[in-house]
Chains A and B, each alone.
Chain A
């Protein structure tokens, strides 16, 4: 479990099955597949009420998709990218009914986007069950141009949108599902320390 003293970072408590849910809406990325397999185990009853969205990301060689599909979820959506998964998830949230429980698991940036989509659809973020799996890469928003970058493993990092070298701050926005990137050389233009891989 990811333990952190960053006050604004969510706590990912781990996936536990809500037995009272009429529908388990599960969004998983990469190694998050293993969290789903562990949490839902081999209880066919729970899988029969599950809508599962999965994108393998960097875990494609492990072929977790096959293992997930073997448990026979009621609906299984395999997506090539996070973006396509999010499009499908938003469509499902648009028509979700009472008794739907939302779950998110995978890397932090992915969990954050699922939670943010839930909030946009009126889901209380406290009610979303989350488990961090995979790398510690961060999703970062440049505070200057507001552009997002996925899977940032280094700080400083050059903004892919506006080119400003950014310090990745330990400050997280649930609404934006991102850490804050802020100019590192504003007070000493051009003096940018070497990037360190600190979010592995």
Chain B
């Protein structure tokens, strides 16, 4: 199936929107009418056809525009992509994982030919045709992780495993929900999760870390996380918070449906074969409130989740200023009917 890539922006004039098909395949993160932190990790198995879980790496209609936005972020701030020297093997592992997955599942867009270490990569949507020697950094125009992640949607972190802990020792992070790779590079699992409220005390990170230390090759896992963003801005980084934070004050009852977005992160983790590192991918999906309510079950459910969310979580996620206005908007789309179990539309 050929994807029609949209021409759209995630900054300035914010022309991003979802097609009806993209709305229907949105990874809605609530399977109940309420939300609290949970480890919520499941096997990253192939999901329903056309869903974002169909393939290990999901490429969608926003691909080309998102890659343009990433290039803009990196041009302004090269520190968004960093890798400590011992992570080079893991970087090559990531090249293999992403190229293999993209070429296998989207053959009309990506093509990979391997003859020993002589690799040939074709990326048609971005117009790239690259022959290189696997393992030889001098044969690519960027370091390996940066090279392939400039061509793949989602942020990526590479975690080294040692001393019974995971260390975030490399990554490319341009579409983040307000955390800084530059600040967190080199941190252990619990250190980089330090600012998250409540979850430490209920043991979420102890359990998640124990689970991930035992992650096996060929058995990736995934989980969903969520927050909300004003305007379809991918680069909600702390680095630029003094520029985008003001957006949170611009929500009105008239524009709430168009300005307020649910932002869902599809987080997936793979064990890498050569380095024994773990790749942690964080793929962000955005949906406007007026798009969300076109799926009646989601409109009802998100109204209830947001209305009943604990204040600490609303604060941490930065929702406080526009939460009530959004709840009021969603209330008009909640007739009180029961919602069916599970994530998917009825």
Residues of A participating in the B interface, judged by any CB pair closer than 8 Å: 6-8, 119, 126, 141, 143-144, 146, 164, 169-176, 180, 182-183, 186-189
CA distance A180 to B192 in the complex (A): 12
Residue of A nearest to B179 (CB): A171
Given A143-B183, A174-B191; 4 other pairs, CB 8 A cutoff: A172-B194, A175-B186, A176-B183, A180-B180
Please tell me if the beta carbons of B187 and A164 are within 8 angstroms of each other in the complex. Answer: no
Q: How far is the CB of A121 from chain B (nearest CB, A)?
A: 13
CA distance A65 to B180 in the complex (A): 40
Please tell me if the beta carbons of A186 and B241 are within 8 angstroms of each other in the complex. Answer: yes
Pull 26 A–B residue pairs with CB atoms less than 8 Å apart, ordered by A.
Answer: A7-B190, A7-B191, A7-B193, A8-B187, A8-B195, A143-B239, A143-B241, A144-B240, A144-B241, A146-B79, A164-B242, A171-B195, A173-B184, A173-B187, A174-B186, A174-B187, A174-B191, A175-B186, A176-B183, A180-B238, A183-B242, A186-B241, A186-B242, A186-B245, A186-B246, A189-B246
Most buried by B among A8, A144, A172: A8
Q: How far is the CB of A187 from chain B (nearest CB, A)?
A: 5
Q: How far is the CB of A109 from chain B (nearest CB, A)?
A: 16
Q: B249 contacts the other chain (Cβ, under 8 Å)?
A: yes
CA distance A172 to B187 in the complex (A): 9
Q: Which residues on A sit within 8 Å (CB–CB) of B185?
A: 175
Residue of B nearest to A175 (CB): B186
Q: Chain B interface residue count: which class? A: 20 to 34
Please tell me if the beta carbons of B245 and A183 are within 8 angstroms of each other in the complex. Answer: yes
The main secondary structure of chain B at its interface with chain A is helix
Q: Which residues on B sit within 8 Å (CB–CB) of A126?
A: 163
Residue of B nearest to A178 (CB): B183
Residue of A nearest to B320 (CB): A187
Please tell me if the beta carbons of A173 and B186 are within 8 angstroms of each other in the complex. Answer: yes
Q: B332 contacts the other chain (Cβ, under 8 Å)?
A: no
Q: B182 contacts the other chain (Cβ, under 8 Å)?
A: yes
Residues of B participating in the A interface, judged by any CB pair closer than 8 Å: 79, 163, 180, 182-187, 190-195, 200, 238-246, 248-249, 321
CA distance A6 to B194 in the complex (A): 7
Query: Contacts A7-B193, A8-B192: A188 and B163 contacting too (C-beta < 8 A)?
Result: no
Please tell me if the beta carbons of B200 and A187 are within 8 angstroms of each other in the complex. Answer: no
CA distance A173 to B248 in the complex (A): 28
Q: Which residues on B sit within 8 Å (CB–CB) of A188?
A: 249
Please tell me if the beta carbons of B194 and A7 are within 8 angstroms of each other in the complex. Answer: yes
Q: How far is the CB of B201 from chain A (nearest CB, A)?
A: 10
Q: How far is the CB of B309 from chain A (nearest CB, A)?
A: 19
CA distance A7 to B195 in the complex (A): 8
Q: How far is the CB of A1 from chain B (nearest CB, A)?
A: 20
CA distance A188 to B320 in the complex (A): 13
Q: Which residues on A sit within 8 Å (CB–CB) of B321?
A: 187
Q: Which residues on A sit within 8 Å (CB–CB) of B241?
A: 143-144, 182-183, 186
CA distance A51 to B240 in the complex (A): 44
Q: Which residues on A sit within 8 Å (CB–CB) of B238?
A: 143-144, 180, 182
Q: Which 3 A-B pairs have the closest CB atoms?
A: A186-B245, A7-B194, A8-B194
Query: Contacts A7-B191, A7-B193, A146-B182: A187 and B246 contacting too (C-beta < 8 A)?
Result: yes
Residue of A nearest to B184 (CB): A173
Query: Contacts A7-B194, A8-B194, A126-B163: A180 and B183 contacting too (C-beta < 8 A)?
Result: yes
Q: Which residues on B sit within 8 Å (CB–CB) of A175?
A: 185-187
CA distance A5 to B312 in the complex (A): 17
CA distance A70 to B155 in the complex (A): 56
Q: How far is the CB of A161 from chain B (nearest CB, A)?
A: 13
Q: Which residues on B sit within 8 Å (CB–CB) of A171?
A: 183, 194-195
CA distance A182 to B245 in the complex (A): 11
Q: How far is the CB of A182 from chain B (nearest CB, A)?
A: 5
Q: Which residues on A sit within 8 Å (CB–CB) of B191?
A: 7-8, 172, 174
Q: Which residues on B sit within 8 Å (CB–CB) of A176?
A: 182-183
Q: Which residues on B sit within 8 Å (CB–CB) of A144?
A: 238-242
Most buried by B among A6, A126, A164, A182: A182
